[in-house]
Amino acid sequence: MPELTPVWTLVAYPVALGAFTFAAAAFDTGRPLSRVARLLVQQRRRTLLPDTLLVRVGVAGLLAAAVLAGIVLPLGDVPLLGLDVGIVWFNAMEVCVWGALWLTGWGVNSVPPLVGGYRFIAQGLAYELPHMFALITAGLGAGSLRMTDVVQAQQGLWFAVWMPAAFGVYLVSALAMAFWGPMSQPLGADIAGGVTSELAGADRLLFGIGRYALLSVVAAAAVPLFLGGGAGPWLPAWVWTVLKTAAVLAVLVWARHRFPAVRMDRFMQASWLVLIPVTLVQLLIVGIVVV
C-alpha cells in the first residue's frame, strides 16, 4: 500500500527539483537566466508539414517523465509517493523519456531530429539492461522494491561500498538516460543538434528544463539506491539528502565536457560485452550474500 504523503512534501518536492534543475543549468551554462530570457522572446521555428501535437507532447513529456520519476525518491526520510514498487516506477519512467525524444524528433518532420531520435532509441537498447540490473541489485540487497526500504537496508553499510559495480554501472547508465556528456549523441553537433535542431523559443526552453530536471532526478536517485539516503551524522536527513544529491549532480555536470562522445555501436558493444556481465556477477554475489 502507498505510504501516506506528508503535506510538506507537496511543497518541498517541486522546490527541491526546481532548485537542482536551476543549479545544474547554472553550473553548465554559467548564465541560465539570460538564456531563458532570450528563448522566451524567440519565435518558434516552423518546418514543412510538422506534426505540432506530437512535438508538444514530446517536449512536455520529457519534463513530465522527470517529475514523475522523482516522486518516489525520499526527501530525507519520506517520499512524495511511497510506492511498494518504487524502483520499478522509477525505471518505467525511462520508457516515457524514450517516447518523448522520439516523438520530438519525429514530429518536426526534419532529418536531423529524426536521426537524433533513433540514436536515443539505439542508446536505450544499449544502456537499459545494465541499468535495470543495477537497480535490481539494490532492490535485491534490500529485499524490497520500495525506496524507503532500500534506504533502511543501508543503515550499516552503503550499497555503493559493497555493490561498487552496480553503482558504477548506474552512473554510466544515468548519463545515457539523460543523454548527457559522452552519451549526448542524440543531440550531436554532427547532426546539427539532433532532436533539438529544429526547436526554438518556448519549445527549446521547455526541452532544456526537462533535460536538466531529468539529470537532477537521476542524480537524486543514486542517493537512496546506493548512498544511504539521508543517513549521516549531526545534520537532519533532508540536509544529507540535499548534500549527497548535489555532489552526484556536480560530478555528472562536470563529466559533460571531460570525456569524448561515444559512438552508438561501440557503446552497444561495451554494454553487452562488459556492463551486462559485470552487473550480472554483482547481482549473483549480492544474491548469495543475502540468501
Task: For 48-115, give the DSSP string.
Answer: SS--HHHHHHHHHHHHHHHHHHHTTSEETTEESSB-TTHHHHHHHHHHHHHHHHHHHHHHTT-HHHHH
CA–centroid distance for 1 within its chain = 26
This prediction has a pTM of: 0.93
- Please, is 156 exposed, middle or buried when counting C-beta atoms within 10 Å of its C-beta (0-12, 13-18, 19+)? exposed
**Per-residue confidence (pLDDT) for residue 46, from 0 to 100:** 80
| Grid cell at residue 244 | 549527497
**Per-residue confidence (pLDDT) for residue 263, from 0 to 100:** 85
Asked whether residue 1 carries a pLDDT value surpassing 70, the answer given is no
Task: Answer for the pair 147, 82: CB distance below 8 angstroms, yes or no.
Answer: yes
- Please, is 192 exposed, middle or buried when counting C-beta atoms within 10 Å of its C-beta (0-12, 13-18, 19+)? middle
Q: What is the mean pLDDT of the chain?
A: 89
- Tell me how far apart the alpha carbons of residues 248 and 243 are, in angstroms, rounded to a whole number: 9
- The model's confidence at residue 276, banded by pLDDT at 50, 70 and 90, is very high
- The model's confidence at residue 136, banded by pLDDT at 50, 70 and 90, is very high
Residue with cell 537512496: 224
Question: CA 223, 229, 230, 231 torsion: positive or negative?
Answer: negative
- Which range, of 9-13, 118-122, 235-239, averages the lowest pLDDT? 9-13
| Grid cell at residue 102 | 522520439
CA–centroid distance for 23 within its chain = 15
- Tell me how far apart the alpha carbons of residues 126 and 271 are, in angstroms, rounded to a whole number: 6
Query: What's the start-to-end Cα distance of the chain, in Å?
Result: 26
**Per-residue confidence (pLDDT) for residue 111, from 0 to 100:** 92
Average pLDDT over residues 258-283: 89
